[in-house]
Amino acid sequence: MNIKEYFVSIFKGFYSLIKGMEVTGKELVTPKVTEQYPENRAELHIPERFRATLEFIYDDNGRHKCIACGSCERNCPNQTISITKRMVEQPDGKKKMKLDKYMYDLGSCTFCGLCVQVCPTNAIRFSNDFEQAVFTREKLHKQLNYLPEKDDAPAPAPAAKPAAAAKPAADETKQESQENKEQ
């Protein structure tokens, strides 16, 4: 290494040191903001785009829009969502898929938002309730459809069963005689 390269490298090192000190100096004089959490919960601003936990969107009548299609469960990269569904018969005789349980594991969720994006009925969303600290992992398993499901139409009254037809006396005597022979 010659003398020129030696002094160029010293100059570059000194220039790099000055640039670093400039950044440090700017941070030294900027005012600091300290959040007084949890005392300032009332005026704490959480951005709308913050993703905390999944929740169902319920209408005024207490119904959710989930049709139990399972697209959110299939698109979850780490199987955080598990759906249990059942077939029910409608009053008109058609069968329909109904949601039985919508389980969500907050502990393994990556908050990627794929489940919300692929939902065809926009039944789920992320809330921005950030306070999710618990002492046991079991409390991180949540059931989203916590409200009882309401039927769309009232169930028809059960039809009265027809009365059993009276058996002729001759048939009864035949059955009695066969029972006596078996004993």
Task: Give, for all 183 residues of the chain, the pLDDT tens digit.
Answer: 789 999 999 999 999 999 999 999 999 999 988 888 888 888 888 888 899 999 999 888 888 888 899 999 999 999 999 999 999 888 888 888 888 999 999 999 999 999 999 999 999 999 988 888 899 999 999 998 876 665 554 444 444 444 444 444 545 555 555 555 554
Q: What are the CA-CA distances from residue 171 to residues 29, 82, 179, 180 (Å)?
A: 106, 56, 13, 15
6: helix, coil or strand? helix
Domain ranges of the chain: 1-30, 54-143
- Write down the architecture of domain 54-143 according to CATH: 2-Layer Sandwich (3.30)
Helix (H) or strand (E) holding 99: strand 95-105
Q: What are the CA-CA distances from residue 124 to residues 25, 49, 155 (Å)?
A: 47, 15, 28
Q: What is the pTM of this model?
A: 0.59
